[in-house]
Structure 1
Amino acid sequence: MSLATDAQDLLFRAARTANTFTDEPVTDTQVHAIYDLIRFGPTGANAQPLRIVLVRTPEARARLLTHVSATNGPKIAAAPLVAILAADTRFHETLPRLFPHNPGARDWYADPAFRESQARFNASIQIGYLLVGIRAAGLSAGPMGGFDAPGVDKDFFPDGRLRSQLLVNIGRPGPNAWQARLPRLEPTEVITTV
C-alpha cells in the first residue's frame, strides 16, 4: 500500500459510523475543503450529479425530522450538521463543461430513465468518496437511509430535479458514539477469479 498505515486506519479500518456528536460546529469552510478533496474521484463520463444540501436552519431541520424514522430522529436533531445527499437528474447539462473534448456527451443522456439511473449511480459513487473525505478531514459521518425519500424530495426539491439518496450527520464524535464493530466478509468470500 502506498498510503501510510495510520492514514489507512483513519479512512477505513478504524472508521466507524458515529451515532453521537459533540456540539462543535462544522463550518462551510470545512465542507468546501472536503468537497475540494473528493471532487476529482472518478465517475462515469465525468458525470458529477451529487448535490449536497446542508441543513443548517432550525426550520429546515424541523421539516427534515418529519421524514425520518423514529430511530434516526434524535440523531438528526442533535447532530451539529446534517446534509441531504441527492442526485441531480439534470447533471447532463454540465457535461459540455466537464467533458470538453466531447461536446456531444450531453446527448448520451437523452433518455430520461437512463439519465436518472446514471445520476443515482454516479451520485452513489460520489457519496462513497464524500464519506471517506469526511473521515480524512478528521470528522465523523453518520450516514442514514431510514427516511422517506419521496417525502424529502417533495418538501426540499419540489421542482423534481434532485432525488435524495442519503442523509448524513457530520461532526466530531461525542460520548458513546460507536456501536460494537460488526463483522465483515472475508476477501475469499468476495473476490473470485475467472
Structure 2
Amino acid sequence: MPAIDDTALDQLFREARTFNHYTDEPVPESDLHAIWDLMKMGPTSANQLPARLVWCVSAEAKEKLAAAASDTNADKIRKAPVSVIVGMDSEFHEHLPELFPHADAKSWFDGNAELRQASAFRNSSLQGGYLILAARALGLDVGPMSGFDGGAVDKAFFHDTPAVKTNFIATLGHGDRSTLHDRSPRPVFERFNRIA
C-alpha cells in the first residue's frame, strides 16, 4: 500500500490544530454519519467497538453538556456547531458474537468486570482518536477536552445505559483560524522514544 501524500499528512497531522473557536458554518448530520462510517473501520482489540457516541447538536443538548463542564469548556461547548460525548460501554462483550464471530471472544470477558472496564477505556480511547482523524479527513476541525464532571455527564446522557460511562468530550466544526496561537512544541523522536 503506498504512503498517502503530503497534503493528506498535513491535513491529518502536521497542519491540523485543536480548535476552541469555530465559524458559523453548520455541520450537517450527514457529516456525523460519515465520521462514524470512517472511525468504525479503525482497529480495536477483537473488534470490540466499545465507544458509544452522543452527538450534541441542539442548543438544549449542548446546554445540558455545558452544565457538566468547567467554565471555559462550557463556553466552547455552547458555541461549537457540534459537541460529541465519547462514552465507553463496559458491556461491549455482549456484542462480540456479532462483531467478532470467528472466536468465542465473549467468554474472555464474562465475569471479569475489571478486564471489561480496562478494555472499554483503552479501545474507546482508540476510537476517539479515529473520530478526530476521520473528522479532519472530512475537512472538519476538532477540540477534544477533559475538564468536565464525568458523573454529571453520565447522569445527563447515559442514565438509561448504566454500563456506559464518559471517556472524553470534543467540539466539532469548521475552526476559526483567526483565533489560533502558535503551535505548542513537539519533541524530537529521541526525547520520548527508545528502540529496544
Q: TM-score range by the shorter chain?
A: over 0.9
Q: CA deviation at 1:175?
A: 5.1
1:44 aligns with 2:40: no
Distance in structure 2 (CA, Å) of the matches to 1:29 and 1:50? 19
Q: Residues of 2 paired with 1:12 and 1:59: CA distance?
A: 33
Matches within 5 A, 1:1-194: 2-102=3-103, 104-110=104-110, 111-158=112-159, 159-174=161-176, 176-194=178-196
Looking at structure 1, the residues matched to 82 and 57 of structure 2 have their Cα atoms a distance apart, in angstroms, of 7
Higher mean C-alpha deviation, range 52-61 or range 9-18: 52-61
Of all paired residues, the percent bearing the same amino acid is 40
- Give how far 1:171 is off: 0.5
Whether the 8 Å contact between 1:44 and 1:122 is mirrored in structure 2 is: yes
Helix, strand or coil for the counterpart of 2:178? coil
Aligned to 1:170, the other structure's residue is in SS state: strand
TM-score by length of 1: 0.95
1:36 Cα deviation (Å)? 1.1
Over aligned residue pairs, what C-alpha RMSD do you find?
1.3
- Quick check: 52-61 or 66-75, which moved more? 52-61
Aligned partners of 1:178 and 1:161: how far apart in 2? Answer: 38
**Normalization by structure 2: what TM-score?**
0.94
Structure 2: which amino acid aligns with 1:80?
P
Q: What is the deviation of 1:59? A: 2.0
For residue 92 of structure 1, give the secondary structure of its aligned residue in structure 2.
Answer: helix
In structure 2, C-alpha distance between the alignment counterparts of 1:85 and 1:137, rounded to whole Å: 19
AA partner of residue 190 (structure 2): T
Q: Following the alignment from structure 2 to structure 1, what is the Cα–Cα distance between the partners of residues 44 and 179?
A: 32
Secondary structure (helix, strand or coil) at the match of 1:45 reads helix
* Secondary structure at the counterpart of residue 36 of structure 1: helix
Deviates more, 1:171-180 or 1:43-52: 171-180
Report the Cα distance in structure 2 between the residues aligned to 1:73 and 1:105, rounded to whole angstroms. Answer: 40
Judge conservation of contact 2:19–2:175 (CA < 8 Å) in 1. Answer: yes
Q: Matched residues in 2 for 1:177 and 1:160: separation?
A: 39
C-alpha spacing 1:118/1:134, structure 2 compared with 1 (3 Å):
same
- 8 Å Cα contact 1:76/1:82 also seen in 2: yes
Partner Cα distance (1:188, 1:41) in 2: 28
Classify the secondary structure of the residue corresponding to 2:139: coil
**After TM superposition, which residue ranges in structure 1, 4 or more long, deviate above 3 angstroms?**
none
Q: 1:33 to 1:11 in 2, by over 3 A?
A: same
Contact 2:77 2:171 in 1 (8 A): yes
Q: Give distance in 2, aligned partners of 1:8 and 1:24.
A: 24
TM-superposed CA distance for 1:53, in Å, is 0.4
Unaligned runs of 5+ in 1: none
